[in-house]
Chains A and B, each alone.
Chain A
Amino acid sequence: MAVASVGANDACPEGHALPNRAADLELAAITKAYGETIAVDRVSLKIPAGTYCCLLGPSGCGKSSTLRMIAGHEFISDGDVMIGDTVVNDLPPAKRGTAMMFQSYALFPHLSVRENVAFSLKMAGAAKAERLKRADDLLALVDMTRYGDRLPAQLSGGQQQRVALARALVTNPTVLLLDEPLSALDPFLRIRMRAELKRYQREFGISFIHVTHSQEEAMALADMVVVMNDGRIEQVGSPREVFNAPKTVFVAKFMGGHNVVPEGGKSYAVRADRIKLARPGEAGAKATVTDVEYQGMTVHVALTREDGTDLLVTLAETEFDRAPVSVGDTVSVGWQPADRHELAA
């Protein structure tokens, strides 16, 4: 499948190209207000050095504003951002030790790939030979040496991403900030570049903070998932923790694969693949099949329970074939008590 060639071009990074300057990052009750609207509401978070952290949430949840406040592209209305031992609130972006990769990469269209990568060195006044040499080192690191003379428009989306990465890394950042870096790519490339991002993060050892609205992306990449909603953090944890033990109804719904079931005035989450179907009359609640979707390895069965609750059940193909159901059938549905999680609100 698509994930296949992670290290298709395994250029070993040279030690001297990127000295490890990883540092902890801490957000202390940072707030972003636009007039009356609060986009980010007292968000506190600690990201240890060398973490792949995903800020995950629907659009408008404040994840991008949070990232931009860390980067220094957005004024911090209240609270502190600390990188290492420094409060960076009032420092310009380039002095924070962060580097940002923009959503559509924002490669300068009038400059060659090499000049793009060397841009920050030029701004700092480095001599031409020196900065081009360094740019070449970085391009080698992301295996783009051959394309140094091209203009960005002459590159594919994946190649542009690598150039953007090289350009950001040339500043020796302690934290790399990525704003929906994969959203400009087609689905196939997205999965490939996702694997590359993870590999680079491992190799460089610095923290990556990656904003995304795709839970699939977050689960595939992150050491630490931060689920955000409405300007607040809903839950922080490893992908497994967040997926297997969602704390709130929002997280359960947003992560997908969960049914939110009301029982006795409380809400519970039950994973779609933990629900068991049986012939009517056997133990469990009665439900009607409303839809059956074939997905290849799995089959999705949508049900409506007698009390009106909609449920989604994911069955392995073989499991489904053992007792096939079709729309309109009545079945019995249930789950083990241990597979059910109580949710807050």
Chain B
Amino acid sequence: MATASTTREEKRPGSFYALSAFFALFVVFLYGPVVTILILSFQGPSGGLTFPMNGVSLYWFERLWSGRGTVDIGSAFQRSLILGLTVMVLTVVISVLAGLAFRKKFFGSTALFYVAIASLIVPSIVVSLGIALEFRILDDILRPLLYQIGLLSRRGNSLGLFTSGLGAHLSWTLPFGLLIMFAVFNRLNKSYEEAARDLGASNWQSFRHVVLPMIAPFLIGIALFGFTLSWDEIARSSQTMGSTNTLPLELAALTTTVTTPEIYALGTSVTAVSFTVIFGTLAAFVLLQRRRQRRALAD
């Protein structure tokens, strides 16, 4: 008893180590590919598609961004970025409005909710095909009429980035946005809005000064969702972009034709944009919170 000066240590069961190993594997599987591509994109000029590294350089990035290489990345990159940002804004706006609408009971609200969510079950590629088909049919029917009144040319099709493409992406992001908004509004006590009304706020003032500031953090989440879902979407883009290509489509096509690390440089660039958007937004969010707190204390 007298020697009991060392503290006893709790023994971990064997399962702890087994599960830790499993988790480590999972993490490797999750981030291994990204890290591999990241490293290989800095391959030397004479290096190939696999290890070993043949020197370290920015050669492939230069080639990619100068447009000298096999990949025309500039315009695809721009298109994807603009489309992603548009989808982001529309997703936030529409989700909030829909969330507000569902805060009131209306006829068929439950059915409408399930219809909106159930569309997520349909395979993306089928949705994409369907949208393309729909646009062709609409073209066949409407184009002659619109031509008559001088709005459109007789031939051509309406498939494109901001017609069918935008629609296809929204069909993917809106159900998610709506789901998040539902969770948010479920937790938002109605008495805040009632208190605002009690204090003389109009519906708009109550939204602008009470509801919006309270749900703002979640809107950032929806915005990120909207952007990233659009930014890397292939399946829904595949049939709906018309004659243009988004970045993921470009990338998919290149995997079969390009045989240089340029494609890795492209992969790294795309990932970098995702990361920048996500962390930029989070940083903005944290700053906003801090400022709000400082202002509250300093006022």
Within 8 A of B (CB), among A91-149: 92-94, 98-100, 102-104, 106, 108-112, 114-115, 119-120, 122-124, 148-149
The answer to whether A149 and B298 touch (CB under 8 A), given A100-B195, A102-B195, A167-B199, is: yes
Q: Is A73 an interface residue (CB 8 A)?
A: yes
Could you jot down 15 A-B contacts, CB within 8 Å? A93-B197, A94-B199, A94-B201, A99-B198, A102-B191, A106-B194, A108-B210, A108-B213, A108-B214, A109-B214, A110-B292, A114-B299, A120-B201, A151-B293, A171-B199
The answer to whether A149 and B296 touch (CB under 8 A), given A102-B191, A103-B191, is: yes
Q: Is A202 an interface residue (CB 8 A)?
A: no
Q: In angstroms, how far is the closest chain A Cβ from the Cβ of B34? A: 37
Contact with B along A147-158 (1 / 0, CB 8 A): 011110000000
Residues of B within 8 A of A171 (CB): 199-200
Q: Is B192 an interface residue (CB 8 A)?
A: yes
Q: In angstroms, how far is the closest chain B Cβ from the Cβ of A194? A: 21
Q: Is A289 an interface residue (CB 8 A)?
A: no
Residues of A within 8 A of B189 (CB): 104, 106
The residue that A123 contacts in the complex, of B194, B201, B299, with Cβ under 8 A, is B201
Interface size class of B (residues with CB under 8 A): 20 to 34
Within 8 A of A (CB), among B153-208: 189, 191-192, 194-202, 205
Q: Is A71 an interface residue (CB 8 A)?
A: yes
> Among A98, A99, A108, A109, which residue has the most Cβ atoms of chain B within 10 A?
A108
Q: In angstroms, how far is the closest chain A Cβ from the Cβ of B229? A: 28
Q: In angstroms, how far is the closest chain A Cβ from the Cβ of B58? A: 45
Residues of A within 8 A of B296 (CB): 111-112, 149-151
Please name 13 further chain A to chain B contacts, defined as beta carbons within 8 Å, in addition to the given A102-B191, A149-B297, sorted by A numbering: A71-B198, A73-B194, A93-B197, A94-B199, A94-B201, A99-B199, A100-B198, A102-B194, A106-B192, A106-B195, A112-B296, A123-B202, A149-B298
> Among A71, A93, A149, A151, which residue has the most Cβ atoms of chain B within 10 A?
A93
Residues of A within 8 A of B292 (CB): 110
Q: Is B103 an interface residue (CB 8 A)?
A: no
Within 8 A of A (CB), among B193-245: 194-202, 205, 209-210, 213-214
The residue that B299 contacts in the complex, of A73, A94, A149, with Cβ under 8 A, is A149
The answer to whether A112 and B299 touch (CB under 8 A), given A71-B198, A92-B197, is: yes
Residues of B within 8 A of A110 (CB): 213-214, 292
Q: Is the CB of B200 within 8 A of A124?
A: yes
Q: How many Å lie between the Cα of A148 and that of B201 in the bound state?
A: 22
Q: How many A-B residue pairs have CB under 8 A?
A: 76
Q: How many Å lie between the Cα of A112 and that of B296 in the bound state?
A: 6
Contact with A along B266-298 (1 / 0, CB 8 A): 000000000000000000000000001100111
Residues of B within 8 A of A115 (CB): 299
B contact patch SS: helix
> Among A94, A115, A148, A167, which residue has the most Cβ atoms of chain B within 10 A?
A94
Q: Is the CB of B201 within 8 A of A73?
A: no
Tally of contact residues, A, Cβ under 8 A: 32
Q: In angstroms, how far is the closest chain A Cβ from the Cβ of B18? A: 43
The answer to whether A93 and B198 touch (CB under 8 A), given A110-B292, A123-B205, is: yes
Q: In angstroms, how far is the closest chain B Cβ from the Cβ of A159? A: 15
Q: Is the CB of A106 within 8 A of B205?
A: no
Within 8 A of A (CB), among B74-118: none
Q: How many Å lie between the Cα of A120 and that of B206 in the bound state?
A: 11
Residues of B within 8 A of A72 (CB): 198
Q: Is the CB of A108 within 8 A of B200?
A: no
Q: In angstroms, how far is the closest chain B Cβ from the Cβ of A37? A: 15
Q: In angstroms, how far is the closest chain A Cβ from the Cβ of B286? A: 15
Q: Is the CB of A120 within 8 A of B200?
A: yes
Residues of B within 8 A of A100 (CB): 194-195, 198
Residues of A within 8 A of B202 (CB): 123
Q: How many Å lie between the Cα of A114 and that of B199 in the bound state?
A: 14
Q: How many Å lie between the Cα of A71 and that of B292 in the bound state?
A: 32
Residues of B within 8 A of A167 (CB): 199
Q: For residue B193, which residue of chain A has the nearest CB?
A: A106
Q: How many Å lie between the Cα of A292 and that of B299 in the bound state?
A: 59
Q: Is the CB of A104 within 8 A of B191?
A: yes
Q: In angstroms, how far is the closest chain B Cβ from the Cβ of A234? A: 28
Q: Is the CB of B197 within 8 A of A73?
A: yes
Residues of B within 8 A of A112 (CB): 296, 299
Q: In angstroms, how far is the closest chain B Cβ from the Cβ of A126? A: 11
Contact with B along A53-83 (1 / 0, CB 8 A): 0000000000000000001110000000000
Residues of B within 8 A of A122 (CB): 209
Residues of A within 8 A of B197 (CB): 73, 92-94
Residues of B within 8 A of A111 (CB): 296
Q: How many Å lie between the Cα of A149 and that of B298 in the bound state?
A: 7
Q: In angstroms, how far is the closest chain A Cβ from the Cβ of B295? A: 8
Q: Is the CB of A119 within 8 A of B191?
A: no
Q: In angstroms, how far is the closest chain B Cβ from the Cβ of A205? A: 21
- Which 4 pairs between the two chains have the least Cβ-Cβ distance? A94-B200, A120-B199, A106-B195, A106-B191
Q: In angstroms, how far is the closest chain B Cβ from the Cβ of A20? A: 21
Residues of A within 8 A of B200 (CB): 94, 120, 123-124, 171
The residue that A119 contacts in the complex, of B196, B214, B297, with Cβ under 8 A, is B196
Residues of B within 8 A of A149 (CB): 296-299
Q: How many Å lie between the Cα of A120 and that of B210 in the bound state?
A: 12
Q: In angstroms, how far is the closest chain B Cβ from the Cβ of A100? A: 5
Q: In angstroms, how far is the closest chain A Cβ from the Cβ of B188? A: 11
Within 8 A of A (CB), among B38-57: none
Residues of A within 8 A of B205 (CB): 123
Residues of B within 8 A of A73 (CB): 194, 197-198
